[in-house]
Structure 1
């Protein structure tokens, strides 16, 4: 490792210390990083010049009652990612726009209940938000569907089917636009709360009212999407002429759980279904045991926090996008 590599590594250590502390004086940063104050002073100068850190007013008294010690803060809002995601809420399509900073904090949010989901609707909302926050450098879309070779091959919203959505929006907005499947994001967020996720197979099953189900798969802590990204799309309709009819939900859910257990043999299964009760879930699992021994059933959890897990997963992906371009 040459001097440049060492300096770069030291810079990362000091930057992480500043991120962890939020605001700090040079002596505080020296203690947190293990560097001398002289080293901290030199590295801080570069961080400030690069726009990564900034000086802030301080009320920390200096030694012997002198003037307050200078404090520094991490510029958490210098680069932002704009999230746009959708899910079902009380039988309606809910569209949420949120702005996330470099620390993964949501600094702005807007909820919309559009009559229909079209590219024009998405574009208008994204244009308005990106105009209000010019620091936005990445856009992430969270939707129930799959993008294959740049085309929305599977999507719950007919007006978006077969569109090159991310390409078209990116061209019109002048910003990189990325896509993330909703249940994939949710199971990623759920996995973060599982202590043994790195050693387990975890499946999330999302079944919104009026739409076919979708599943997300974590293998040893890593999201598995398959060759084209359709792994887990258990209920997708590849033909636009196919319509979804929801019959006996208990029987349909039991069938799907049995299939997921046979294919993936998971340790955990999180089920997302608005309004589903623990009693109804118990009945579904009883039906499963008509075809599967009870010992083969995973730990099944009725998760009522789809939006929470969904957003947590999207925030993780969003921050990774910023860091990938050297933003962190």
Structure 2
């Protein structure tokens, strides 16, 4: 089959699956109407999906006089994706693992508190998940640091720095693997689960306890990575504080509030997003009010973005990684209506 025909078939298959995922059940006619594909094309795609087990045929639709219509449902447990993220908050180091089905529903979640995290801890956790769910197809990995072409660069976990984690996991487990920075994943998750439009931009800034901050930048619905994936490393902004000393400033509430406000203003002057989301257990209500006061002093009237506070990154983080992992299972062509 020519390459263009194969790609068209992939797109059509994704259209059929997307319709099935949104409905309790469908018929060939209802799928054809929703996708603008022919009934014959839908029938051929359904036949292949039934053969793989990704789609199931259920009881016939009751007849109203003619031949009863065949009904089809998407098999949401046909396969799974697993996401794992390493996190450091002060002295606490943890690895969170979540398995989700094909429509993003979590079927398993566990939290492992560890002395340190290296490739071995990822290997052990993935082995455990595959024993429970052998049909995992994609691994989504979240890392507190810079990731370039699957290799971990700057990282809060020294044993992971310089490691080709993506290549290692792909070879060891023979699965598709995506690896993304923690705040990029979280920003992507927050953006999509709170239903921004692609025309809107937002920035998510995360301050771990006793660690340096990072920002995830979303423009046109996509993560802004920069040419070396360094975009969002806001601890390196030239604000008069060495990145090595920034985590210590959290102990001084006044200096910390000033640094956060200047970081937000620096981002706003360059990107001017619709929203800036601020997250971290280190923030108190009083500190948030101090930051807001400083922002109003620093910014010309009418130019401040909406400031949103999200205490914990977990829900947005998992949503982002899971969405990326599920997208990895679908064809990589995005249809844009003009």
TM-score, normalised to structure 2, is 0.79
Pair 1:213 & 2:213 matched: yes
User: Measured at CA, do residues 31 and 154 of structure 1 come closer, stay the same or move farther in structure 2, by a change above 3 Å?
Assistant: same
Per the alignment, residue 233 of structure 2 pairs with 233
CA contact (8 A) 1:169 1:177 kept: yes
State the 1:188 CA deviation.
1.3
Pair 1:16 & 2:23 matched: no
State the 1:224 CA deviation.
0.6
State the 1:198 CA deviation.
2.3
State the 1:160 CA deviation.
1.0
User: Measured at CA, do residues 81 and 8 of structure 1 come closer, stay the same or move farther in structure 2, by a change above 3 Å?
Assistant: closer
Pair 1:45 & 2:47 matched: yes
State the 1:26 CA deviation.
5.9
State the 1:69 CA deviation.
8.0
Per the alignment, residue 121 of structure 2 pairs with 121
1:214-293 paired onto structure 2 within 5 Å: 214-235=214-235, 242=244, 245-247=247-249, 248=252, 249-274=256-281, 276-293=283-300
Q: Please state whether the residue corresponding to 1:96 is helix, strand or coil.
A: strand
Per the alignment, residue 143 of structure 1 pairs with 143
Give the whole-Å Cα distance in 1 for the aligned partners of 2:45 and 2:227. 44
Where structure 2 has 5 or more consecutive residues not aligned to the other structure, the ranges are: 238-242, 334-338
State the 1:307 CA deviation.
1.3
Give the whole-Å Cα distance in 2 for the aligned partners of 1:199 and 1:233. 24
CA contact (8 A) 2:88 2:156 kept: no
State the 1:320 CA deviation.
1.0
Q: Please state whether the residue corresponding to 1:281 is helix, strand or coil.
A: helix
Pair 1:311 & 2:311 matched: no
Aligned pairs, how many? Answer: 320
What do the CA deviations read for 1:299-319 (whole angstroms, capped 9, x no partner)? 111122421111121121111
Per the alignment, residue 240 of structure 2 pairs with none
Per the alignment, residue 55 of structure 1 pairs with 57
More displaced 10-residue stretch of structure 1: 211-220 or 108-117: 108-117
State the 1:152 CA deviation.
1.4
Give the whole-Å Cα distance in 1 for the aligned partners of 2:11 and 2:234. 45
What do the CA deviations read for 1:186-220 (whole angstroms, capped 9, x no partner)? 11122225555423331111001111000111123
More displaced 10-residue stretch of structure 1: 177-186 or 98-107: 98-107
CA contact (8 A) 2:169 2:177 kept: yes
Q: Please state whether the residue corresponding to 1:158 is helix, strand or coil.
A: coil
